[in-house]
Amino acid sequence: MIKTIKNERTIPFFKSTIDQEEIDAVTSVLNQESLSVSKVEELEKEIGDFVGGTYTIATNNATSALHLALSAMELKRADKVLMSVNSFVNIPETVRHFDAEPIFIDIEENGFNIDINKLEEYLKENNSKKLRALMVTFVAGGIPDLDKIYAIAKKYDLLVIEDATSALGALYKDEMVGSLEADMTIFSTNYSNSKTAISRGGYIVTESEDLANRAKLLRTHAINSSFDEFGNIDYIYDVVDIGYKYDMTELEAAFNLAQFYKTNSFCERRQEIAAIYNKELTDLKHISLPEFDEEHIFSQYIIKVTKNRDGFARALKEQGVSTGLHYIPLHLLTYYKKKYKLKITTYGNALTTYGQILSLPIYPSMSDDDVLYVCNNIKKIAKQWI
């Protein structure tokens, strides 16, 4: 047992970066300085232009955007949606709200994203008209082989919905994620699931006018407003479907717009932090690091601890360093385990990876001193680790 002395210094797992730009943006809305200009529409245009998408629909959070995307494609009861077993819970959750069935696929042996070979094996053995879509997750901002994924989806007539909530600003073969061949891509201007997140914005980006129009309609109760020929009456409305209340407020849009303008600088700072981690933590006992890639935006920095990961995390916590886990495989969660009678060994790669992974703090407001504090404590613990 390693003896540690609790330190009063704390490094949170995530901390929002709030500067004067966010304060000014929010204040302008509170002061009602620009009632004629919609911050939501401005934000939608900016994100669409940034990623190269034709239509953008803003929502109050990324889970709402995922659910709205499935509503726009008219997912139905007993339909099937493929996804990585190493996804956040909102992916299968939104599918289950339609009484549709999530189909889990194992991850790569040496990665965190879906195993494309196992995906294709499943489709060869289980091709069905009920298979409607493939939801692709980019864990930590890492990008799978999208060319192969698009080809498989086309072969089996599947819609592709990209969960790029942690991949805003990521490139694939010099093209921006969100401008490629997916039917819909989901983004977030605040990808952290941390309780300390100040605001949560979600966005659907699509090239389909039909999907965009339906998503916009359902976003606010499926209400159609009517106007006279002079545009004077705006209180007459009709409801044409069963919708939701998923729209973003002007206040949230102002804050998220200020955050969005920092996307590139946020990505660059996380890359700088990842470079420090990779330099300082090389060749430590029982610790494996992610391969550093200058195009990787490192939404999370995930290491592997090959011996007693939980004990290692507890030792870090005693030194004030918070960590995370991305993710607990879906088939280990009580609801899905019981609902589909899944064995824990069914997804071997995900199970093995889950027992070792640990996400370290990585956010733009971390100072180099903060990063080195994390590194020094990891070195100290690893040196004593049995």
Do 78 and 165 have their domain in common? yes
* pLDDT number for residue 1: 47
Report, in this order, helix, strand and coil percent for the chain, each rounded to 5. 40, 15, 45
The string of pLDDT tens digits covering residues 239-252 is 999 999 999 999 99
98 lies in some domain: yes
Q: How far apart (Å, rounded) are the C-alpha atoms in residues 49 and 195?
A: 30
* pLDDT number for residue 199: 78
125 lies in some domain: yes
DSSP 245: B
Of the residues 222, 239, 260, the one at which a domain ends: 260
Strands 236-239 and 184-188, sheet pairing: unpaired
Do 230 and 310 have their domain in common? no
Q: Looking at the chain, which runs of residues are DSSP E strands?
A: 55-59, 80-84, 101-105, 131-137, 159-163, 171-172, 175-176, 184-188, 202-206, 223-226, 236-239, 287-288, 301-305, 357-360
DSSP 249: P
Q: At a CB cut-off of 8 Å and minimum separation 6, what does 295 contact?
A: 170, 171
Do 213 and 275 have their domain in common? no
Quote the domain boundaries for residue 291: 263-384
Do 111 and 238 have their domain in common? yes
The string of pLDDT tens digits covering residues 222-237 is 998 765 555 566 778 8
Cβ atoms of residues 30 and 251 within 8 Å: yes
Do 184 and 50 have their domain in common? yes
The CATH number that applies at residue 341 is: 3.90.1150.10
11 lies in some domain: no
215 lies in some domain: yes
The CATH number that applies at residue 206 is: 3.40.640.10
Token pair in block for residue 204: 């659907």
Strands 202-206 and 55-59, sheet pairing: antiparallel
Total tally of structural domains belonging to the chain = 2
8 lies in some domain: no
Residue 322 pLDDT > 90:
yes
Strands 171-172 and 202-206, sheet pairing: unpaired
30 lies in some domain: yes
Which candidate, 236, 281, 245, 224, places its Cα nearest to that of 67?
Answer: 245
Do 189 and 274 have their domain in common? no
Residue 212 pLDDT > 50:
yes
Do 97 and 124 have their domain in common? yes
Do 241 and 303 have their domain in common? no
Q: At a CB cut-off of 8 Å and minimum separation 6, what does 357 contact?
A: 112, 302, 303, 304, 305, 309, 325, 326
Do 275 and 225 have their domain in common? no
Average pLDDT over residues 55-79: 97
214 lies in some domain: yes
5 lies in some domain: no
Q: For the residues of 259-281, what is the DSSP string, one character each?
A: HHTTHHHHHHHHHHHHHHHHHHT
Q: For the packed helices 368-384 and 309-318, what is the interaxial angle rounded to 10 degrees?
A: 130
Do 272 and 379 have their domain in common? yes
Do 270 and 255 have their domain in common? no
Average pLDDT over residues 106-123: 97
The string of pLDDT tens digits covering residues 266-293 is 999 999 999 999 999 999 999 999 999 8
Of the residues 260, 292, 325, the one at which a domain ends: 260
Largest distance between two CA atoms of the chain: 78
Of the residues 260, 287, 307, the one at which a domain ends: 260
Average pLDDT over residues 216-224: 95
Q: In whole numbers, what is the pLDDT of the chain averaged over residues? A: 93
Do 292 and 238 have their domain in common? no
